[in-house]
Each structure stands twice: as structure tokens, then as C-alpha cells.
Amino acid sequence: MRVLRYIGRRMLFIVPQLVGIVLVSFLLVKMIPGDPAVMMVGPMASAETLAKLRTELGLDGSIMYQFWIYLTNLVQGDLGTSWQTTRPVLNDLFVRFPATLELITLSLLLALLIGIPLGVAAAYFRRSVVKKFSDYYGLLAGALPDFWLGMILIYFFYTIFQIAPAPLGRIGFAVMTPSPVTNFLIIDCILEGNWQALWSTLGHLILPVVTLGVITAGPILKMTQSTMERMLESDFIRYADMCGLPKSVVIRQAFRNSLPSIVTIVSVLYGFLVGGAVLVEIVFSWGGAGQYAVQGVLNADINPVLGFVLFSAVLSLIIYLIVDLIYFAIDPRIRG
């Protein structure tokens, strides 16, 4: 019951939060120099054409007026049109976001698989090779740029060993793509029973997922390690040792108490990667949401940018809600 009431209260605040986010990002995007009308008509157009287009786009009104127009369209589910793709932003985002989410979700899973066991082991075996290794790993993962690692992986596994597919998108050219239902390719392939496409999709996912996963494991490793170290030195773990509980039980106990911090860093990373994966997306021609937004910014194409911000914001709010629910499940002190 408490949980339901809590969720309800959170939902109440979502709409004003979103309006605020859209307003701020609208103003920020408008501050970027560059006139979309000029970009759209090209350098050879006459002054009248330009003025006409500006009126059509509502660019001659005040900025608050423009925001009002955007907001009223938004309420009707219209995120505007991208003049670059000439398609409604909403349609574009429904393709682009799943592409990015598929990539970063799998990457985070890989990062968890690397970071958590390594972090726990490094915290427990204080003077071991594992600890040394994880120290260097954390340092390297923090220092290496992800796109660089991506290019190195492409060089070795595509160019030299030729065991990875070409870094050109999410699926091979020669493969029948499944009909888009969710636009998560893995899910669509399974829904359709298209195993050849699934195989190709998974193959294309490997390198970018490894790239992002290996780099993102760094912060997860660090957080796991430092929290576990703190927990292993805490009073209740010392007491568990005094009670002679088996090592495995003591470690599990410390890990459970470390979970809230780990969940927090994962949620932060997830929100960050939606836009932060853009360089890796570019390297692998992924066609993800980050790329879409960056192209929008570079070409004064404001609607894709705002749409991206809005989608990311909703996603973040959902993630934080889920995180809070996980806290609820783990920690009786919050439930209390």
C-alpha cells in the first residue's frame, strides 16, 4: 500500500517536471546560433522565400510564443517534424530510441557482469592480484575513450581477424530485417521467428556492447569495491565474524548492504549512456538516438533535439522510479 501511494505521488510530479525540462531545453537550444530557415532554404534563396519560411515556421514570433506553440502541439502528441529526415520526430524517435536502448541495456548488463564480481573480489582480497588488477582496470577504463576502444576492436576483430561483422549498423545488409513491431531488433526477430536476422543482430551487437560494457564496468567496479570495502569494515560485519558465520554468508551480507549504492550508480550510468553512447554509435554507424540529437544540434534542427531531451527525461524518470522501488524492496528502513 505504501508503495502504491508513493508511486502515485511521484506520478503527480512528473508532468510539471517534464514541462520544466522542455522549457529549459527549448531556451537552451534557441540560444545556439544558427537559423533553421537559412539552413533549410540553402544559400541561394531569395530574401522573400526566407521571410516566408520564417513566418511559416513561426520563427518571427517571440520566443515564449514559439514555446507555447511547441507545447500545444506536444499535448496533442505532435513533436514536430525534422526538416532533415522530413519525417515526424515521434516516428524517428520510435526507431532511434530502441536502437540505443538495446545497445546500452546489453552494455550495462555486461558491465555488471564484469564490475560486480571483480569489485567484490577486490574488496575482499585486499592484498591480492585481483585487487591490483581491478585498480588498474578502474584506472584504464576511466582514462580510455570508449570510441577509441571501439575502433581498436574493429581494427582487430573486423579488419585483421575478420570474425566480426562490418561496423555498419545493427544488422547485416543481406539479411531480411524483421517487420518493425517494437523496433528492438532482438525482440522483433524473436517475435517473427526470424533466426537468421537474430543471429546477424547479435553479431552486430557484440563489438559495440563489448566497447561500452568494458568502459562502463569501470565506475561500477569502483563503486562496488569501495562500498564493499566500507561494508566489510562496518560494525555489523565485524560482529558477523565474531559470531563465526561462514565467510560466504558474511560476504553475501556485506553485498546485500552494498546493493543500494550499486543500483544508484547503474541508474545514473543508464541515464547518462542514452546520450553518452553517441560516439560509439557514430563509430558503429548505429543510427541511435544520440546520433539523431547531435545531427539536430549541428543543423539547427530543433525538433529532434527537443524530442530527444523529452524522451530521455521520461526515461530517466522511469528509471529513478524503478530505482526507488528497488530501494523499497531491499531496505526495510525506507519501507519502515
Partner 1 sequence: MANETQKVFDTGQPVLSIDGLNVSYPVYGEDPVQAVRDLDLHIQPGEIVGLVGESGSGKTTLARSVMGLLVQPGRVDTGTIQFDGKDLRALPEKQLRAVRGKDIAMVIPNPRSELDPLVTVGRQISNVARAHLGIKRDEADQMAMDMLNAVQIPDPDRRFKAYPHELSGGMAQRVVMAISLVCSPKFVISDDATSGLDVTVQAQVLDLLRALVRSHNTAMLFITRDIGITAHFCDRVAVIYAGEIVEIAPMQSFFENPMHPYSVMLLAAFAHNPTLRAKWHKPLASAAPAHGGACAYAGRCVHAEDHCRQNSAELRELAPGHLVRCHFPVERPL
> Per-residue DSSP letters for 96-109?
HHHHHHHHHHHHHH
Q: For residue 44, give the C-alpha cell.
A: 541561394
52 or 230: whose CB is closer to partner 1? 230
Judged by CB under 8 A, the stretch of 2-10, 152-160, 174-182, 249-257 that binds partner 1 is: 249-257
Alpha-carbon gap, residue 168 to 43, rounded angstroms: 32
The verdict on 253 binding partner 1 (CB under 8 A) reads yes
> Which among 12, 33, 93, 87 is positioned nearest to 310, based on CA atoms?
93
The verdict on 2 binding partner 1 (CB under 8 A) reads no
Alpha-carbon gap, residue 335 to 332, rounded angstroms: 5
The verdict on 127 binding partner 1 (CB under 8 A) reads no
The single residue among 155, 159, 241, 322 that binds partner 1, judged by CB under 8 A, is 241
The verdict on 245 binding partner 1 (CB under 8 A) reads yes
Judged by CB under 8 A, the stretch of 77-85, 197-205, 213-221, 236-244 that binds partner 1 is: 236-244
Smallest separation (angstroms) from partner 1 to the CB of 335: 9
The verdict on 42 binding partner 1 (CB under 8 A) reads no
The verdict on 236 binding partner 1 (CB under 8 A) reads yes
Judged by CB under 8 A, the stretch of 5-13, 233-241, 273-281, 283-291 that binds partner 1 is: 233-241
Q: Give burial (CB, 10 Å; 0-12/13-18/19+) of 136.
A: exposed
Cβ-contact 287, 249 below 8 angstroms: no
Q: For residue 320, give the C-alpha cell.
A: 529513478
The single residue among 249, 298, 318, 322 that binds partner 1, judged by CB under 8 A, is 249
Smallest separation (angstroms) from partner 1 to the CB of 264: 16
The verdict on 324 binding partner 1 (CB under 8 A) reads no
CA of 107: how far to CAs of 142, 159, 225, 286, 323, in Å?
16, 23, 20, 14, 19
Size of the site for partner 1 (CB under 8 A): 22
The single residue among 43, 77, 193, 246 that binds partner 1, judged by CB under 8 A, is 246
Judged by CB under 8 A, the stretch of 17-25, 190-198, 240-248, 303-311 that binds partner 1 is: 240-248
The verdict on 33 binding partner 1 (CB under 8 A) reads no
Answer positive or negative: Cα dihedral of 329, 331, 334, 336: positive
Smallest separation (angstroms) from partner 1 to the CB of 256: 6
Q: Angle formed by the axes of helices 89-124 and 195-232, to 10°?
A: 40
The verdict on 330 binding partner 1 (CB under 8 A) reads yes
Q: Give the per-residue SS3 of 194-212.
A: CHHHHHHHHHHHHHHHHHH
Alpha-carbon gap, residue 304 to 96, rounded angstroms: 11
List CB contacts of 93: < 8 A, sequence separation 6 or more: 79, 289, 292, 304, 307, 308, 311
Smallest separation (angstroms) from partner 1 to the CB of 248: 10
The verdict on 9 binding partner 1 (CB under 8 A) reads no
List CB contacts of 184: < 8 A, sequence separation 6 or more: 98, 101, 102
The verdict on 238 binding partner 1 (CB under 8 A) reads yes
The verdict on 143 binding partner 1 (CB under 8 A) reads no
Residues 256-275 that bind partner 1 (CB under 8 A): 256-257
The alpha carbons of the chain give a radius of gyration, in whole angstroms, of 24
Q: For residue 332, give the C-alpha cell.
A: 526495510
226 or 299: whose CB is closer to partner 1? 226
Smallest separation (angstroms) from partner 1 to the CB of 239: 4
The verdict on 29 binding partner 1 (CB under 8 A) reads no
Contacts with partner 1 by CB under 8 A lie at: 234-236, 238-247, 249, 253, 256-257, 330-333, 336
